[in-house]
Amino acid sequence: MDQYLIGIDVGTGSARAGVFDRAGHLLATVKRPIEMHRERGVIAEQSSEQVWRAVCDSVRECVALAGIDPAGVAGIGFDATCSLVVRGAGQATLPVGDPAHPERDIIVWMDHRAVEQAERINAQGHDVLKYVGTRISPEMETPKLLWLRENRPEVYAAAAHFFDLTDFLTWKATGALERSACTVTCKWTYLAHEGRWDADYFRQIGLGDLADDGFARIGARVVDPGTPLGQGLTEAAAEAMGLRPGIAVAAGLIDAHAGGVGTVAAGGDATACLGYVFGTSSCTMTTTREPAFVPGVWGPYYSAMVPGMWLNEGGQSAAGAAIDQLVQLHPATAEATALAAAAGKPLPQWLADRALELAGSASAALRLADDLHVVPEFLGNRAPFADPHARAVIMGQGMETGPDSLVALYVAGICGLGYGLRQIIETQAQNGAPVETISVSGGAGTHPLTRQVLADATGLPVEVTECPEPVLLGSAMLGAVAAGLFPDLHSAMPAMSRIAARCAPDPASRARQDARHAAFLALQSTARQIRAAMAALPQN
């Protein structure tokens, strides 16, 4: 019988499943939406039960769409956003915000309610912070746990488990309470290179009770990604997914890290390639053989993505979301949206296609934005400044109201993301983590315009893998390892992933790109200076 693998990816707005064969070829994929409660631009909450239903429905339909015998599925891998799931005893859900909504038991990764808690933690300067670029982010889990304890003490006390979303999904699938080294190392301060939690850190920041119970509520047992969990898929989970019980289920990954696993070894050397996962937010994944300490960049994390190697994780808190926000500010958005709908295209695709039509080539599209400069930090700067208070800067916007002026603003926004990426790459190279190529994955990076702009902005070639869904592929690789089809991820990664296309930087655009990059840095620096000056004024 043929052996198939299922990769499951839970992003910010949807759950997706993909069916793969052993060689990494995608046979089918299905997506289900996930609702999110937003409030004041700060709060972001979801329901873990709705997420689980979306996962099961997408798997069931995807297997049917692929036309395979469900009995042939050998392994399942999960990835998800680094969101905090709070569960009570048994299957009880607990409200992380409004008590009237106990179903909303997830604090989403992008939720910034814990900014003040993160600042207090950073001010205490514990040694574990050197493994998160010296500054913890409010997007990570210990600031969120501290917020919960201080603002919802009854919920905090009633919680039997605090899960990263990936670990919640593997628990629902298998009943196993092991946590992935990826999730707890990258977002919870677990020291994977020493195989331990630091109890002193938790006591110092006000979460000593977690240490006192042996870290049972956040993960007493930690295993590498790809490790088979429990007895495989439980009967209840198998029934919900339309699969057979006992299928191997792997310890999972954060979604961006699954994209890294699915891409960075396609060219052979994972240490030479930066994985750039370009979605609602963006993440950069850099693999090194020895630890590299990069100010403002998360890590170094041991065995968090590729077992036995170190990972540095940077990125932008808003990437695709930043472009969406930027576009909505323009008066031609409604007109352009109608034109896109008439062409049967999503608005970002229509804008990118129109840029190519106007300019004649992807590199020449840069000239459309000659008078426009964007620092797209609508949700802060994740790296290299670890500054959640940073905000966007738009320079050069005039009174133009037509769709083509919106196209120019769109191009300027993509350029701004490219210069932010270049800033991260250069900062890492200065601190012992250089790369030679970029492998882009995620829906926002699929268009030829985007890939060329990123190559020109950074000065590095941008690769695209053969698989159109490298995040799902990375999770399927985990399932392959858990099922014993490959001995480890080091073997599975190059065997299941291949490079399909390579986009080289255009030398003719270099001078203009360097000038725009210098403008980006100047605007970014000026914005920080202005913010500091305003903060120093009397608050009366």
Domain boundaries, the chain: 4-254, 320-424+507-533
Helix, strand, coil shares, percent, the chain, to 5: 45, 20, 35
Is residue 540 predicted with pLDDT exceeding 80?
no
Is residue 442 predicted with pLDDT exceeding 90?
no
What are the structure tokens assigned to 345, written together?
A: 């295209």
State which H helix or E strand residue 38 sits in.
strand 37-39
**pLDDT at position 386:** 86
**pLDDT at position 1:** 60
Regarding predicted confidence, which is higher, 94 or 256? 94
**What is the CB neighbour count within 10 angstroms for residue 156?**
21
Q: Which of 147-156, 203-212, 278-287 has the lowest mean pLDDT?
A: 278-287
**pLDDT at position 122:** 96
Give the closest residue to 98 by CA, choosing from 152, 153, 157.
152
Pairing of strands 499-503, 462-465: antiparallel
Is residue 391 predicted with pLDDT exceeding 90?
yes
What percent of the chain shows pLDDT beyond 70? 100
Is residue 204 predicted with pLDDT exceeding 70?
yes
Give the closest residue to 469 by CA, choosing from 14, 19, 100.
19
**pLDDT at position 445:** 80
Instruction: Give the integer Cα–Cα distance in Å for 77 and 482.
Output: 8
What percent of the chain shows pLDDT beyond 90? 92
Which DSSP category does 294 fall into? -
**pLDDT at position 516:** 98
Count of CA atoms in the C-beta half-sphere (13 A) of 122:
18
pLDDT, tens digit, 9 for 90 and up, residues 311-343: 999 999 899 999 999 999 999 999 999 999 999
Contacts of 330 (CB under 8 A, 6+ apart): 405, 406, 409
Is residue 376 predicted with pLDDT exceeding 70?
yes
Is residue 5 predicted with pLDDT exceeding 70?
yes
Mean pLDDT, residues 506-514 taken together: 96
Mean pLDDT, residues 109-133 taken together: 95
Regarding predicted confidence, which is higher, 256 or 144? 144
Residue 367's pLDDT band, with cuts at 50, 70 and 90, is very high
Which DSSP category does 400 fall into? -
pTM of the model: 0.88
Which burial class, exposed, middle or buried, applies to 456 when counting CB atoms under 10 A from its CB (0-12, 13-18, 19+)? buried
State which H helix or E strand residue 411 sits in.
helix 403-430
Contacts of 138 (CB under 8 A, 6+ apart): 111, 112, 113, 114, 115, 117, 118, 144, 388
Which burial class, exposed, middle or buried, applies to 373 when counting CB atoms under 10 A from its CB (0-12, 13-18, 19+)? buried
**pLDDT at position 491:** 94
Residue 502's pLDDT band, with cuts at 50, 70 and 90, is very high
What are the start-end ranges of the H helices in 277-330? 320-328
**What is the CB neighbour count within 10 angstroms for residue 178?**
18
Q: Give SS3 for 214.
A: coil
What are the structure tokens assigned to 290, written together?
A: 């020895």
Rg of the chain (C-alpha set): 22
Mean pLDDT value across the chain? 96
Report the CATH number of the 4-254 domain: 3.30.420.40
**170-179, 297-306, 310-319: which has the highest mean pLDDT?**
170-179
Which burial class, exposed, middle or buried, applies to 162 when counting CB atoms under 10 A from its CB (0-12, 13-18, 19+)? buried
Asked if 30 and 469 touch (Cβ cutoff 8 Å), the reply is: no
Fold of 320-424+507-533: Methane Monooxygenase Hydroxylase; Chain G, domain 1 (1.20.58)
pLDDT, tens digit, 9 for 90 and up, residues 243-287: 999 999 999 999 989 999 999 988 778 899 999 988 888 999 999
Largest CA distance in the chain: 74
Give the closest residue to 271 by CA, choosing from 486, 63, 434.
434
What are the structure tokens assigned to 115, written together?
A: 């900014």
Contacts of 10 (CB under 8 A, 6+ apart): 16, 34, 51, 54, 55, 78, 79, 80, 81, 165, 166, 169, 255
Contacts of 182 (CB under 8 A, 6+ apart): 166, 225, 251, 252, 253, 254, 257, 304, 305
Q: Which of 177-181, 282-286, 351-355 has the lowest mean pLDDT?
A: 282-286
Strand partners, 315: 283
Q: Give SS3 for 179.
A: strand
Give the closest residue to 453 by CA, choosing from 524, 379, 512.
512
Contacts of 175 (CB under 8 A, 6+ apart): 230, 234
Residue 402's pLDDT band, with cuts at 50, 70 and 90, is very high
